[in-house]
Each structure stands twice: as structure tokens, then as C-alpha cells.
A and B are shown apart, each in its own frame.
Chain A
Amino acid sequence: MDVRPNIGTPGRRRYKVQMNDSPDNRPAIEFHHVSYRVNGDGNAGRELLHDLNLEVQSGETLILLGRSGSGKTTTLKLINHLLTPSSGEILVEARSTSEWDVIRLRRRIGYVIQEVGLLPHFTVERNIGLVPKIENWPADRIQARVLELLQLVGLDAEIASRYPRELSGGQRQRVGVARALAADPPILLMDEPFGALDLITRAELQHEFLELQKSLRKTVVFVTHDLREALLLGTRIALMEAGRLVTVHTPEEFLNSAEPLAAAYREAFGTALKI
């Protein structure tokens, strides 16, 4: 049992540990009373996230659904400690993000963002091999891994020597996914990864993602504002609004939910959902 004594500030909440606890049935990610304000602690500053309690089970795809400013991206960035919570704590693999060595933590978490964030001066090969390289893998192993990943995300091996600017939007996003998977991290964070793509390419990538996830079984936290995408990809959907978690539903529950906001989403996407 990897449970560290909480040395932190007095009065901070400790999580309960059940006796039958094993790493496998512990949630991969847990939020305990997490709030986040811009400008650090205290009551100054705008609160972007308020008292979030949420668990992400290992191997599931949890969708954070909400409009812009609802706190979904903030939630995501708290997981890989790009942001530090103002109060509460986040446990990744049962250890608080404040106790993790932040570099180690991030290298165990794949990160895909909407703008992709490929390095413009690196070839596709170097972009995908970035984390293996900074983890000091030998060159031949990196190369083999890059080829394997290109195939996995449905890209030609020839593309390896190209620069990001020479790729289409869909190809770039595939490279982004390949890069996030490079060091085989157990957790993937995806921030509207398919948001900037045209509808056809988006649908293609969504289905490829489903196929991939069937075999990889990563723990995925996926941010989107698109209900269709949420219903298609999600194991569960966490609905967020104005920095608060409204409800967590499975896709089936979501379609029948009496929750007014869920109903509003169904209404907004009404015609699109009646297929």
C-alpha cells in the first residue's frame, strides 16, 4: 500500500484507507475538496474551481463536459500540476500531486492539447520521441518506438522526417496523440484534442481513439464541450458549470437525466443526437 503520511499543513484532509485497498481498485486520480483561485491562496482572486470532489477510475475515459470557463481545463491542469490547487488535494495513483516529483509525475501522464503544441523546429520523429529522449532511452529503441506509434495512430512511416508545418491538421493531431503515448504513460489528459478539426476528420479520429482505447485501456481524462463527443467516447461524463461539478453520469444516464443542465445540453444538441 503506497500511502504516505500526510506531512502537509495541519487540518488538511486525509483520505480514508480501506483495509482491502490495493493499487488496482484505487481510483487512478482523486480530487478531494479541490478549489483553485487565480492569484494563489486566500480569498483574493477569481475562483475558477470550487470544492471539486471527483474520482477517475483506472482504465476509464472520464469526460469533462462544460462550456468555456466552466473549469474543465483548470481541472485537467491540476492533475499534471501545471496548476497548484488553492485548497484541497489531488491524488494521482494514491499520492498527492504536491508530494510527487513534478517531473516524474508529468512523464507518467500523456498530455494532448487542442493546439497540439508540436515543437515547430523538431521533425515528427523528434516530436514523438521527445519524452523517451529526455528519459534517456537509447536511440535505436526510440526509433523503433516512433515507428510503432506512427503505425498505431495510422500515419505513414515516411512522415517521420517531416516538420509539423508540413502536416495537415488531422495528421498533426495524430502526431500529438502518438507523442503523448510515447513513453507508455498509464494516464492520458486530452484537452479538446479534436476541437480544431473538420467534422469528417474529427469523426475519424474519434473512432480511432475508441479503437485504441479498447486495446490500451489507459486512464483518460478528456475535456470537451461537445455532447456528441462526450456520449461517444466517455465511460462517464462529468458535467461542469461555472467552476462547479454539477453531476457525473454514464452516457445512458445522461440521456435520461432529470438534471436541468443535462437537459439543456440535450436540448442544445437535440437534432444532432436524434440519429
Chain B
Amino acid sequence: MNVWQFMLQNHAEVLELTVEHLKLVGISTLLAVLVGIPLGILITRWPSLNKPVLGGANIIQTIPSLALFGFLLPAPWIGARADRLAILALTLYALLPLIRNTYAGIQGVDRAIVEAGRGMGMTDRQLLFQVELPVALGVIIAGVRVATVISVGLATIAAAIGAGGLGEYIFRGLAMVNNQVILAGAIPAAAMALLADVSLGWLEKRLSPR
């Protein structure tokens, strides 16, 4: 039986795991966007927060994913359910590319433009929303793209703590020493990553001022 036959035969389960995977990635990326972009903006306004915030996000990034899942286990409410725990861990991992790209995007806006805007009497708020964020949008979307692609891959490991997703097949296949089962998890995950990469890449190009 090859992998396609296996997937066809178990299409209901494949679909269910794919949806679970999407949920893990989608919710965690959304949360990371909601936290990461404001944090990125914040550190352009208070440069003294720059080092602690980026440093913190960097440190999280260096924790091995399985260890991070383990660290979070004793947390109240979060630790009670595997999917909550997985979402939190994935959110934390996605923070760094988002904070960094938001910060770099805004810092990278041509100084002449910002100075012209300020010189014409734009308030800080107007500068941020009408000049800096629109001009930096392409770079920020690039951060969302990196975060999403990383999350799709990392979310497979969430199966190790029972959070479901396509990692189920991968771990099951590893246990059974069955490549077909591993591939039944890996192929949809890879497809999902590619799809996210291509579509967000397209968005990034469209939203970048040429």
C-alpha cells in the first residue's frame, strides 16, 4: 500500500488531523500577530525596551520545542489541555520573527519620509498609521510568513504532548517504523507550509511599496 492509497483510505482522519493542525497554526499565529506587532511598534518608540524584548524573544527561540512543551505543562489552565499548551508554545515561537520584522520594517522606513511627515505637522499617531506602518507593511507580512511556516513545522511536534494535528501520523509512523504513515502526516504538512509561504509571499509583494 503506498502513501496515497493510505491517505485515500483514511481520508476522514487525514482531514480531521489537517483541520486540527490548521487550528493550532492559525490560532497561535493570530495570537502572535496580536502580541508581536504591537511589541515591535513599542520598541521603536521606547528604544530602551529594544534589548530586553528582542533578547527575551530570542531566548524563547533557543529553547528546544519539546522542552518548551514540557516547561509549560505545570502552568495552570494552560497545562490542563494539550491543545492550549501547544498553542501557547507555538505563539511564543512565532513572536520573534514578528517583533523583529515589525521593528526592522519601521526602522527601515526612509528617514527623509518620516522627517518630512513630522516637519509637516503630523502627530506621532498619524505618522505611525499613515506613514510608518503602511510603508513597513511588506516587511511585517514577511515576518508573518516566516512565523507561519515555522509554526506549521513545529506544530507537528505538538502531537508528542497529545495536542493532535498531522504530527500524530508522524509519531505513529515512527513507532510503527512505517514510512507510509509518516508521509501521510508529512506531505499534508509540507503542502500546508508551501501554501502559506506562497500566498503570504504574494501578499507581501503586493503590499510592499515599490
Contacts and interface: CB of A to CB of B under 8 A. Distances in A.
Interface in B8-35: none
Interface stretch (B56-64, B119-127, B184-192): B119-127
Contact of B113 (A105, A119, A189): A119
Contacts of A103: 121, 123
The size bracket of the interface on A is 20 to 34
B116 interface: yes
A121 B113 CA distance: 11
B209 interface: yes
A139 B116 CA distance: 23
A23 interface: no
Contact of B209 (A104, A121, A131): A121
A146 B145 CA distance: 39
A111 interface: yes
B50 to A, nearest CB: 19
Given A113-B116, A117-B116, A120-B113, A134 B122 contact: yes
A113 B120 contact: no
A83 B131 CA distance: 21
A91 interface: no
B113 A107 contact: no
Nearest to A133: B130
Contact of B120 (A77, A104, A106, A116): A106
User: Looking at chain B's contact residues, is the secondary structure mostly helix, strand, loop, or mixed?
Assistant: helix
Contact of A111 (B110, B116, B209): B116
Interface in A129-163: 130-131, 134
Contacts of B121: 103-107, 109, 131, 134
Nearest to A164: B209
A212 interface: no
B210 A119 contact: no
B173 interface: no
A110 B123 CA distance: 16
A132 B115 CA distance: 18
A80 interface: yes
B131 A113 contact: no
B45 interface: no
B119 A82 contact: yes
A171 to B, nearest CB: 17
B120 A121 contact: no
B135 interface: yes
A121 B123 contact: no
A116 B119 CA distance: 12
Contacts of B117: 117, 119, 130
Interface of B: 110, 112-113, 115-123, 126, 130-131, 134-135, 209-210
13 contacts: A80-B119, A105-B121, A117-B113, A117-B117, A118-B116, A119-B117, A119-B130, A121-B135, A121-B209, A130-B120, A130-B122, A131-B120, A180-B120
Interface of A: 77, 80, 82, 103-107, 109-111, 113, 115-121, 130-131, 134, 165, 179-180, 189
Given A103-B123, A113-B116, 7 more contacts: A80-B119, A104-B121, A119-B131, A120-B209, A130-B120, A130-B122, A180-B120
